[in-house]
């Protein structure tokens, strides 16, 4: 055969190998050949599939052979990772991302596994890994392998009952609270409690009035116990021991002092997000001020702007830890102007509009607090209680790491301000997307048709509640296999 023929045959052979490799890959066959010390060849076991999501690891008991690996996939809507305690870990995986985790460094034995993002293991993301001396064990788990959300036909009745129980338990607790005389308090916190937990956030902080009229607000930053849900108490990072932090209100032109004592284990500061302050009070250490060291006290002094503003306050130093773990609160300068007397899409806002309740709605999704409304997760989220005809002003503030489309059933929301700036053209929505750092203010009216008088037949009028769902519409932020959870509450209309 001529040299050119040899080259042609080699090219043809190489092409056939390429085609064969492509076909094997296309049908999902991957063969990894290893040689043992005696020269024999063995096929390496494929990685064991594991799914991480809110808030579980599936399967919770993982088995692999020595030298095996895991194919870890984030099937949730938040960033997660998988760590073998004392061994390797994945990178932080975005939703939908996967990573093969090599376990060849692990000796036979049993290891704890978890998501090491703060709060996720406490919320249920933990399990065990067994490394055996034999071949990698096949792990069958429909949640890891995909399918109908990881559920078999036998699961559905159980899941149905858990959803029914979670919803009915919340509603029944509200009715029991009403029967016991629950009602609205003067600071806008509902007296009706679905499932009471220790601690209430957003409490208005009364200032000390100095001789020159300056309003002084005293805050202490510390790590304290905070009950997020009935069965979950965490070490939260707080101002004055509450989540959200105290609600601070001043009037346009007020002279203001905010005195912060740092009882945290790290340096801190306060940034007044969305509030006009002079450079030395912007709260970005070490640029605008020295860091406030543990045990130190620092005073912010400024004059409030001469116009209404609505912002938040939180640390800038170590914010990725401190903020999501609970250090966030509302800072308000005066009252936002509202579109009184205006007709918007056929609905007229009364010229003599009176606000029955002004309600902060602080959103979070990370840290030890996790998926929450005003520092609580369902079923500890307090409902909003409204009388027929009342108008309410809700201030959304997103202190989390993700966008949250907030959806109120049946009652439209009139968006009147964005980031504290009144809108020249207010608009109606039923779902409002709130990104991290954003604030939106909305008006909601409880109309006569919002009262569901047939909800409790045979009960007195005082028990006839219209109970409307109010939740984040990223569905895994509001529902789980155990039923409703996280960012869910209710808007209750009473006679």
In this predicted model, what pLDDT tens digit does every residue of 352-406 receive, in sequence order? 999 999 999 999 998 889 999 999 999 999 899 888 889 999 999 999 999 999 9
Query: What is the Cα–Cα distance from 264 to 368, expressed in whole angstroms?
Result: 16
Instruction: Tokens 């939106």: give the residue.
Output: 440
Among 131-140, 306-315, 400-409, 443-452, where is mean pLDDT lowest? 131-140
What's the whole-number average pLDDT of the chain?
83
> Are 388 and 451 within 8 A, CB to CB?
yes
- Helix (H) or strand (E) holding 273, with range, is strand 271-273
Give the best-scoring range by mean pLDDT among 227-236, 257-266, 460-469.
257-266
Identify which has the larger pLDDT, 67 or 26: 67
Identify which has the larger pLDDT, 120 or 272: 272
SS3 361: strand
**pLDDT, position 133:** 77
Query: What is the Cα–Cα distance from 383 to 167, expressed in whole angstroms?
Result: 13
State the number of CA atoms in the 13 A half-sphere of 296 facing the CB: 11
In this predicted model, what pLDDT tens digit does every residue of 384-399 receive, in sequence order? 988 888 999 999 999 9
> Are 244 and 314 within 8 A, CB to CB?
no
Give percent of the chain with pLDDT exceeding 70.
80
Query: What is the Cα–Cα distance from 115 to 79, expressed in whole angstroms?
Result: 10
Query: What is the Cα–Cα distance from 45 to 51, expressed in whole angstroms?
Result: 19
Is residue 443 packed enough to be buried (19+ CB in 10 Å), middle (13-18) or exposed (0-12)? buried
Among 106-115, 194-203, 296-305, 334-343, where is mean pLDDT lowest? 194-203
**pLDDT, position 493:** 86
**241-270 burial by CB neighbour count: b if 16+ within 10 A, else e?**
bbbbbbbbbbeeebebbbebebebebbbbb
Give the dihedral of Cα atoms 72, 372, 427, 393; nearest 10 deg: -170
**pLDDT, position 181:** 61
Residues whose CB is less than 8 angstroms from the CB of residue 36 and which lie 6 or more positions away in sequence, other chains included: 42
In this predicted model, what pLDDT tens digit does every residue of 192-227 receive, in sequence order? 666 778 999 999 999 999 999 999 999 999 999 999
**pLDDT, position 215:** 98
DSSP state of 376: B
The residue-averaged pLDDT of 94-121 equals 88
**pLDDT, position 191:** 55
Please say if the pLDDT value at position 8 is more than 60: no
Q: pLDDT band at 159, cuts 50/70/90?
A: confident
The residue-averaged pLDDT of 308-337 equals 95
Q: pLDDT band at 162, cuts 50/70/90?
A: confident
How far is residue 264 from each of residues 46, 243, 329, 347, measured CA to CA in Å? Answer: 47, 16, 17, 50
Nearest CA to 239 out of 271, 286, 284 is that of 271
**pLDDT, position 266:** 95
Query: What is the Cα–Cα distance from 417 to 424, expressed in whole angstroms?
Result: 9
Phi, psi of 239 (to 5 degrees): -100, 125
Identify which has the larger pLDDT, 206 or 109: 206
> Are 150 and 144 within 8 A, CB to CB?
yes
Give percent of the chain with pLDDT exceeding 90.
58
Nearest CA to 431 out of 423, 439, 442, 420 is that of 442
Please say if the pLDDT value at position 429 is more than 50: yes
Q: pLDDT band at 23, cuts 50/70/90?
A: very low
**pLDDT, position 151:** 54
**pLDDT, position 142:** 39
**pLDDT, position 39:** 46
SS3 208: strand
């Amino acid at each position: 055969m001529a040299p050119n023929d040899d080259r042609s045959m080699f090219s043809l052979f190489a092409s056939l190998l390429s085609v064969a490799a492509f076909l094997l890959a296309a049908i999902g066959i991957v063969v990894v050949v290893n040689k043992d010390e005696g020269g024999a060849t063995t096929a390496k076991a494929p990685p064991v599939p594991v799914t991480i999501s809110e808030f579980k690891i599936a399967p919770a008991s993982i088995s692999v052979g020595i030298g095996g690996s895991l194919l870890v996939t984030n099937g949730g809507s938040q960033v997660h990772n998988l760590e073998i305690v004392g061994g390797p870990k994945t990178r932080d995986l975005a939703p939908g991302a996967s990573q093969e985790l090599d376990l060849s460094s692990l000796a036979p034995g049993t290891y704890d596994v978890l998501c090491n993002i703060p709060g996720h293991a406490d919320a249920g993301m933990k399990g065990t890994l067994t490394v055996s001396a034999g071949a990698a064990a096949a792990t069958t788990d429909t949640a890891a392998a995909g399918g109908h959300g990881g559920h078999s036909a036998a699961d559905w009745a159980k899941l149905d009952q858990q959803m029914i129980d979670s919803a009915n338990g919340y509603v029944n607790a509200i009715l029991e609270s009403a029967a016991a005389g629950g009602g609205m308090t003067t600071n806008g916190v509902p007296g009706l409690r679905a499932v009471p937990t220790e601690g209430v956030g957003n409490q208005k902080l009364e200032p000390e009035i100095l001789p020159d009229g300056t309003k002084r607000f005293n805050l202490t930053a510390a790590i304290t116990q905070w009950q997020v849900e009935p069965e979950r108490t965490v070490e939260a990072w707080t101002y004055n021991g509450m989540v959200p932090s105290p609600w601070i209100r001043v009037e346009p032109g007020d002279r203001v002092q905010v005195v912060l004592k740092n009882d945290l284990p790290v340096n801190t500061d306060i940034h007044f997000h969305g509030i006009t302050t002079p450079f030395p009070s912007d709260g970005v250490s070490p640029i605008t001020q020295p860091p406030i060291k543990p045990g130190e006290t620092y005073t912010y002094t400024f004059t409030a702007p001469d116009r209404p503003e609505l912002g938040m306050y939180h640390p800038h130093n170590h914010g990725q830890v401190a903020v999501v773990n609970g250090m966030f609160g509302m800072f308000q300068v005066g009252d936002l102007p509202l579109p009184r007397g205006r007709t918007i899409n056929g609905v007229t806002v009364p010229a003599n509009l009176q606000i029955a309740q002004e309600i902060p709605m602080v959103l979070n999704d990370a840290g030890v607090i996790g998926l929450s409304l005003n520092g609580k997760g369902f079923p500890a989220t307090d409902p909003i209680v409204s009388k027929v005809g009342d108008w309410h002003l809700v201030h959304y503030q997103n202190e989390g790491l993700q966008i949250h489309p907030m959806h109120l059933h049946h009652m439209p929301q009139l968006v009147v301000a964005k980031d504290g700036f009144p809108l020249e053209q207010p608009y109606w929505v039923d779902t409002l997307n709130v990104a991290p750092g954003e604030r939106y203010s909305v008006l909601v009216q409880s109309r006569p048709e919002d009262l569901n008088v047939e909800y409790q037949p045979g009960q007195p009028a005082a028990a006839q509640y219209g109970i409307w769902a109010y939740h984040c519409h990223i569905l895994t932020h509001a529902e789980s296999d155990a039923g409703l959870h996280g960012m869910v509450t209710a808007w209750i209309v009473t006679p």
